[in-house]
A and B are shown apart, each in its own frame.
Chain A
Amino acid sequence: MKQQELIPHLFRTEYRKIVSVLCKRFGFDQIETAEDIAADTFLAASQTWPYNGIPQNPVAWLYFVAKNKAKNHLQRNLVFESKVSDELKRSSDEADETEVDLSPQNINDSQLQMMFAICQPSIPPEAQIGLSLRILCGFGIGEIADAFLSNKETINKRLFRAKEKLREENSKIEFPGASEIDERLATVLTTLYLLFNEGYYSSSQDTIIRKDLCDEAMRLCTMLVENKLTGKPEVNALLALMCFQASRFDARIDQNGELVLYDDQDTNLWDPELISKGAYFLNCATTGNTLSKYHIQAAIAYWGTQKADTQEKWESILQLYNQLLQIEYSPVAALNRTYALSKTIGKEAAIIEAEKLKLINNHFYYALLGELYTSIDNHIAREHFQNALALARTQTDKQAIQKKIDSLT
């Protein structure tokens, strides 16, 4: 019996396409119907394919079934509407009204437009990420809960509230107008970067899920890059940044799921393909006059792909952080800048700068001080690392700090 091999993640991939298209067709207020029809389609597949074999063209099979289910739904609605409202003006083009367009173009557009519909500042960032995972990435509630180290009930509530909010605001699944595209795009990019970071820095021990999140963020960002309307320099820069960071994904976690710090990473595990992809997109990002925070972060990440400790490297990183902090301050950037400073002017001088930051609630602040004091005054270093350990929230961070303490003696 010749059994066709099924594409990994096929259901997940097709789920998000079908949901986006149907949701655009029905309107955002009927998003649950779109989700139900998509889920029913896969249920039907999983109940027939094991016995009849996988169809020659599984995707076409899925679309055919989804279209029919959508058609039935729309026809029921038409009957209902005409009975209730006495308006029969629709009858002539009823056939067209129940057709669902699952062409590659419409699938692509619907997904991009859905991205804009979901990434709204009116709902909290974690809800934007959750909805993105559900609708744009086709994750199940349980999978989202695993990624967030939460439970299904919490995630369900969060997504329900977010959908309600978007419905109230009458969120439209369409491209924003030319005048507001930059502003709206900024929100989309923020969400995509958060999604990426959720995977890259997440405390979830499940490496596969974490890698999936990074891949999904990069996939969505690639869609934006490839579209004429949205393929702007800062979008290319964000994709470059993600590529550079993702190139170290396998090197920064060891077999036990423990964090491997940059200095200890095996560069053979860095992904050269992603590094050159990053360089390509960073190059694409330099068309135009904009210098966004993503440009700077991508440039910093580029230096991260050069392992050798050169004066040029750290001087460049320092200057980039100086620039980044001017565009947008963040504690992490301030701490990283100080680390770069220590690499250029030495630890003693950097300690003076570091102590000015006074980020006393941030465990990275104490970790940095511990790092800087190491081999200058190990006693003080230990105190700082212990403060860091007390403030660290994730198991991965705690393990990394404990290792530092253990190596102090």
Chain B
Amino acid sequence: MDEYALIMRHEDGSKIASPEQMQIWMKQTMDWIGGIAAQNKFVGGTGLLFADAKVVHHNKMVTDGPFGEIKETIGGFITVRAESAEEAAEFAKGCPVLQGEGNTMEVRRIHKNEGRH
């Protein structure tokens, strides 16, 4: 079984929902993760804070961001165990981030250092 990263991509990270809405989404995220964990397919995950975010550009210039100049931001990711990319994508479909129009989930297999242990 492989591990896959499910990456949450928001179209506009600065869009602020109402407190009630945020609480609902948060509960949905917890239920989503719980559902995957109940199948023993959850490996780990972390949220990425928007507060104090910076973007370092190729000329080493640092800007507050990534809002404004970049269309998409990453809100967080979780790692799951799955038999295939298709199964991992099935997990991704349940993520509440997808309720936001323009938001996407990226599914990426995590590279394994085979034969090194």
A and B pair up: yes
* Residue positions of A touching B, CB distance < 8 A: 1, 3, 6, 9-12, 14-15, 38-40, 42-51, 69, 138-143
Nearest residue (CB) in A for B75 is: A47
Nearest to B44 among chain A residues (CB) is A51
> In whole Å, how far is B93's beta carbon from the nearest beta carbon of chain A?
17
| Listed A/B pairs (26) with beta-carbon separation below 8 Å | A1-B34, A3-B30, A6-B26, A9-B23, A15-B19, A39-B19, A42-B22, A43-B49, A45-B22, A46-B25, A46-B29, A46-B47, A47-B48, A48-B47, A49-B30, A50-B26, A50-B29, A50-B45, A50-B47, A51-B45, A51-B76, A138-B19, A139-B18, A140-B17, A140-B19, A140-B21
**Across the interface, do A12 and B51 meet the contact criterion of CB distance under 8 Å?**
no
Report the nearest A residue to B96, measured CB to CB: A50
**Residue pair A46, B26 in contact (C-beta under 8 Å):** yes
With a cutoff of 8 Å between Cβ atoms, the chain A residues found around residue B5 in the complex are none
The distance in angstroms between the C-alpha atoms of A278 and B5, with both chains bound, is 56
B86 at the interface (CB under 8 A from A): no
How large, as a class, is the contact surface on chain B? 20 to 34
* Best-surrounded residue of A3, A44, A47 (most CB of chain B within 10 A): A47
Partner of B47, one of A40, A47, A139: A47
Min CB distance A346 to B, Å, is 51
Cross-interface CB contact of B50 among A3, A14, A43, A50, cutoff 8 Å:
A43
Q: Is B92 in the interface zone, CB < 8 Å from A?
A: no
Interface members, chain B 1-41 (any A CB < 8 Å): 16-23, 25-27, 29-30, 33-34, 37
CA distance A143 to B19 in the complex (A): 11
Take A43-B50, A47-B75, A51-B46 as given contacts and tell me if A6 and B27 are in contact as well, using a CB distance cutoff of 8 Å: yes
3 smallest CB-CB distances across A and B, nearest first, come from: A140-B18, A47-B47, A11-B19
Q: Which residues on A sit within 8 Å (CB–CB) of B27?
A: 6
Decide yes or no: A43 and B21 within 8 Å by CB, A3-B30, A50-B33, A51-B76 being known contacts.
no
In the complex, residue of chain A having the shortest beta-carbon distance to the beta carbon of B14? A43
Instruction: Flag if B51 contacts A10 (CB, 8 Å).
Output: no
Find the residue from B19, B30, B47 having the highest chain A CB count within 10 A.
Answer: B19
Q: A48-B49, A49-B26 are in contact. Are A1 and B18 (CB under 8 A)?
A: no
* Complex CA distance for A40 and B16, rounded to whole angstroms: 8
In the complex the two chains form, is B25's CB within 8 Å of A138's CB?
A: no
Measured in the bound complex, the distance between the Cα atoms of B21 and A12 in whole Å is 9
Instruction: Report the minimal beta-carbon distance from B59 to chain A, rounded to whole angstroms.
Output: 26
A46 contact from B22, B33, B37, B45, Cβ within 8 A = B22
- Identify 17 new A-B residue pairs, CB closer than 8 A, beyond the known A1-B34, A43-B49: A1-B37, A6-B23, A11-B19, A15-B19, A43-B16, A43-B50, A45-B22, A46-B22, A49-B30, A50-B29, A50-B47, A51-B45, A138-B19, A140-B17, A142-B18, A142-B21, A143-B20
Q: Given A3-B34, A143-B18, are A10 and B23 also a contact pair (CB < 8 Å)?
A: yes
